[in-house]
Amino acid sequence: MKIAVLGTGMVGTTIATKLIELGHEVTLGSRKADNDKAKAWLEQVDSDRASAATFADAAASAELVFNCTAGAKSLEALRMAGAENLADKILVDLANPLDFSNGTPPTLSVCNETSLGEQIQAAFPEARVVKTLNTISAEVMVEPRELPGEHVVFVSGDDADAKRWVEQTLLRDWLDWPEVVDLGDISTARGTEMYLALWVRMWGALGTPAFNISIVRRG
């Protein structure tokens, strides 16, 4: 599959590398085609299935798009990618609206009455936005079985078919996630995004980002 991964940070390059390993054609998108981080990633993966391009060029040629940009810049980046290049495509949104303007731990620039996922869906109504993988670190996203137990990842979105594809194909078949919970429509992304306030503090307490949560149910 031809896939665009928008964003050259740790999340974007980790996801892109995993997708290359799985045999897909991946274009890492950024503001400029000659982005230094994108060039470094190309050298690292050393694959003829990897390429780098602008946000727009990456999205235009893709069948599937990942938003791995910094949450504060996601809407701008997706506008640069172009609504026409996102229309009718599944847009997997991994971003969180973290605000580091007052240092760390960050606060949320969007919460309670809306979410970044909702804002993206509203700004790009023809895209099939599915929020997922935003509640764990990059390393856990792509190697969930490195952690023990039936820990969980969530999905949110308005398009039922897009969510089913993300759950079964991306999360279960490609990434081998042990448990996936469909929270409901895109408004439920508020919950997973607001969880980041707890997640960053757990990282501080545990001294590692290599953790996740599980759901314990009464039998």
Give the pLDDT confidence score for residue 109 in this predicted structure: 76
H-helix or E-strand spanning residue 181: strand 179-184
Which class is 2-206 in CATH?
alpha beta
Indicate the domain borders of the chain.
2-206
Write the DSSP string, 91-151: EEE----EE-TT-SS-EESS-SS--HHHHHHHHSTTSEEEEESTTS-HHHHH-GGGS-S-B
Is the pLDDT score of 139 beyond 90?
yes
**pLDDT tens, residue by residue, 41-80:** 999 999 999 999 999 999 999 999 999 999 999 999 999 9
Count Cβ atoms within 10 A of the Cβ of residue 42 and give its class: 0-12 exposed, 13-18 middle, 19 or more buried: middle
| More confident call, 19 vs 103 | 19
Taking CA atoms, 150 is separated from 137, 168, 214, in Å, by: 17, 16, 6
Give the pLDDT confidence score for residue 99 in this predicted structure: 76
- The closest alpha carbon to 120, from 132, 112, 129, belongs to 129
pTM: 0.95
Grade residue 100 by pLDDT with cuts at 50, 70 and 90.
confident
Per the prediction, the chain carries an average pLDDT of: 95
